[in-house]
Amino acid sequence: MDRPHHISLRELLQSWNLHVKSIEPIKDVYKVRTDQGVKSLKGSPMSTAAMRFIHSALKHLHSQGFNRVLRAIPTSDGQDFIVAEGLVYSLYDWIDGRRPDFRKSHELQDAVKTMAAMHQAGLGFQPPTGASPRKRWGRLDESHKKHRQDLADFSDYAKAKRYLSRFDREFLKHLTDYLQLADQAIAALNVEEYSQIVQEAKQKGCICHGDVAERNFVLSPDGVMNLIDLDSCRLDLPVMDLVKLTRRVLKKVNWDPAVAKTIITAYQEAFPLSEAEIRIFGAVISFPQKFWRIADRYYHKKKFFSEEKAYNKLRKVTKQKKGFLGFLACYNKEAPDWWRSSP
């Protein structure tokens, strides 16, 4: 985020009628000490309509009793945000605390249950007029098939090279296994059932965080687990948040099935998924998403990687292939008991 001079920020903060004592940039926000306590000021390049969607989602969550996300502090004239120098600024209370340690089972379970409680509170949400929601539901089958085709296209591109890079050789070495996984994931998704679940979710209304990760939870000194940074908030099936969090946790423990069981049973205790949603989880978690993403960035040059960095990222994934395959074998055998049990 571009950081304006502190004087312009002080002028901007006058919209909240605050006496500013200090401003400290921390990552992508400003920690602002004021006469009314410590605040968090965040600027975003998103459109005002997209920001209205986020704030309407936060208000809905609070209206349903879920207070582990922060609502924006209104300006002195009652606005949720202001626009300045091409950015949309929102102000929140500052949450004291630390990032949870997901190596500790009780903290992981607490985070999962917090996410599940958010999903439950999100039921009934419908974006208001003037809000521009980020919609992701209904795209799963199309996305998986496109990504599978991408992998085949990347193979053709690599094989057509006169000289193969280390990345090309590593990619081609493991491609057959990952194509097989992609095909199995596509076959496992019942498109008709998935479409029905999506239609039901659209009618009920729901909210997904969109970027659930260890870094987006804050454990306060009094033991309350909070969710932060809903800039990726979207309309999608809650199970997609669960898949994303599960993937991010498991890749750090070489796809340990015991950790997966901890996540699944904690979620089921708080906000149980239906049998159809469980089948969707199984189809999505088995798709080789990380292998595709790294190859996509490399071959489409969407993100600059040095050859060495790109190779190291790919190698990190392929080194976990055995663990990933072992997890999938265990999941396919034991998952019914995981979904029925409690932590």
| DSSP string for 244-265 | HHHHHHHGGGTS-HHHHHHHHH
Domain spanning 6-93, CATH architecture: 2-Layer Sandwich (3.30)
Element (H, E) at 30: strand 29-34
For the cut 80, the answer to whether the pLDDT of residue 10 exceeds it is yes
Q: Where are the domains of the chain?
A: 6-93, 105-340
Kindly state the average pLDDT of the residues 158-162.
94
* Residue 20 pLDDT: 93
State in words which class domain 105-340 has.
alpha beta
- Identify the CA nearest to 235 among candidates 320, 101, 306, 138: 138
- Read off the pTM: 0.93
Residues 74, 92: contact at Cβ < 8 Å?
A: no
Token code pair at residue 32: 């602002």
CA atoms of 143 and 286, how far apart (whole Å): 14
* Residue 209 pLDDT: 97
Question: pLDDT tens digit string along 14-71?
Answer: 999 999 999 999 988 999 999 999 999 999 999 999 999 999 999 999 999 999 999 9
Give the 3-state secondary structure of residue 145: helix
CA atoms of 222 and 229, how far apart (whole Å): 21
pLDDT > 70 fraction of the chain, expressed in percent and rounded: 96
* Residue 121 pLDDT: 97
